């Protein structure tokens, strides 16, 4: 059961991480129109919209925290803190299309502040780095599982800035522009970090 649970949390593989186009082609869960409407209601102080924001994004932000290396309890705490901060600073939300990157920017800052306050705890675990299931079964499963473990370890060993680029773009499926805004850096800087992260992973994962 433990192994099955572990496998359930590990959903991506090296091909997934290195295939930018595959992620960019995936449909967004929510349309721009839906985000515009939700953002407008949030700016108007609609508490029902705040509850909807949590319903829509809670899992994404929680997994984001886990994938950055926080344990389950800390991830839950930081996720809650992210939504509280989002509601408190709702006046900074300008347009619906920025809702994704705006919320991830808040979550990224919350995570950074936590690491700064707990530098001695910055020993990243690997349980939060999940990998994509490519459907392998039977005799292939053991080898596939070993490869996924190797990949998860490699991602977990990346410096936090590089790990963040991989998590934001490939695992959270943000576009380059959205991910760069969430990280608080320019597109070119984000791409440079992402490429460096992928080069490092390719060297470590065979």
pLDDT in tens, 142-159: 555 566 777 778 888 899
Q: How far is CA 77 from CA 2, 72, 123, 129, in A?
A: 24, 9, 18, 18
| Structure confidence at residue 58 as a pLDDT band (50, 70, 90) | very high
pLDDT for position 93: 82
pLDDT at 139: 40
pLDDT tens-digit map of 34-50: 777 888 888 888 889 99
DSSP the chain: -HHHHHHHH----HHHHT-HHHHHTSPPSS-HHHHHHHHHHHHTT-HHHHHHHHHHHHHHHHHHHHHTT--HHHHHHHHHHHHHHHHHTGGG---GGGHHHHHHHHHHHHHHHHHHHTGGG----STT---------TTHHHHHHHHHHHHHHHHHHS-HHHHHHHIIIIIS---HHHHHHHHTS-HHHHHHHHHHHHHHHHHH--
CA distance 200 to 206: 11
**What share of the chain in percent tops pLDDT 90?**
41
The residue extents of the domains of the chain are: 2-204
- Residue for token pair 């939300």: 93
pTM of the predicted model as reported, rounded to 2 decimal places: 0.70
Q: How far apart are CA 129 and CA 197, in angstroms?
A: 15
Task: State the average pLDDT over residues 53-69.
Answer: 94
In the DSSP assignment, the letter for residue 26 is: S
Least confident of 81-85, 97-101, 130-134, 166-170: 130-134
3-state secondary structure of 163: helix
Instruction: Give the confidence band of 31 by pLDDT, cuts at 50, 70, 90.
Output: low
CA distances (Å), 94 to each of 29, 30, 38, 43, 153, in order? 21, 18, 12, 8, 38
Q: How confident is the model at residue 56 (pLDDT cuts 50, 70, 90)?
A: very high
Helix (H) or strand (E) holding 119: none
Q: DSSP letter at 30? A: S
Q: What percent of the chain has pLDDT over 70?
A: 68
Most confident of 17-21, 138-142, 170-174: 170-174
């Amino acid at each position: 059961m433990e192994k099955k649970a572990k496998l359930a949390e590990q959903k991506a593989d090296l091909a997934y991480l290195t295939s930018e186009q595959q992620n960019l082609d995936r449909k967004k869960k929510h349309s721009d129109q839906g985000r515009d409407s939700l953002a407008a209601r949030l700016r108007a102080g609609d508490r029902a919209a705040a509850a909807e924001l949590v319903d829509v994004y809670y899992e994404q932000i929680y997994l984001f925290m886990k994938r950055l290396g926080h344990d389950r309890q800390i991830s839950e705490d930081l996720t809650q803190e992210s939504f509280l901060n989002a509601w408190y600073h709702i006046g900074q939300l300008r347009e619906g299309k920025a809702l994704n990157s705006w919320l991830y920017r808040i979550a990224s800052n919350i995570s950074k502040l936590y690491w700064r306050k707990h530098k001695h705890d910055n020993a990243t675990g690997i349980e939060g780095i999940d990998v994509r299931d490519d459907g392998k079964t039977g005799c292939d499963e053991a080898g596939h599982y070993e490869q996924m473990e190797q990949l998860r370890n490699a991602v977990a060993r990346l410096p936090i800035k590089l790990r963040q680029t991989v998590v934001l773009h490939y695992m959270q499926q943000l576009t380059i522009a959205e991910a760069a805004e969430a990280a608080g850096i320019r597109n070119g800087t984000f791409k440079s970090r992402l490429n460096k992260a992928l080069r490092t992973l390719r060297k470590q994962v065979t």
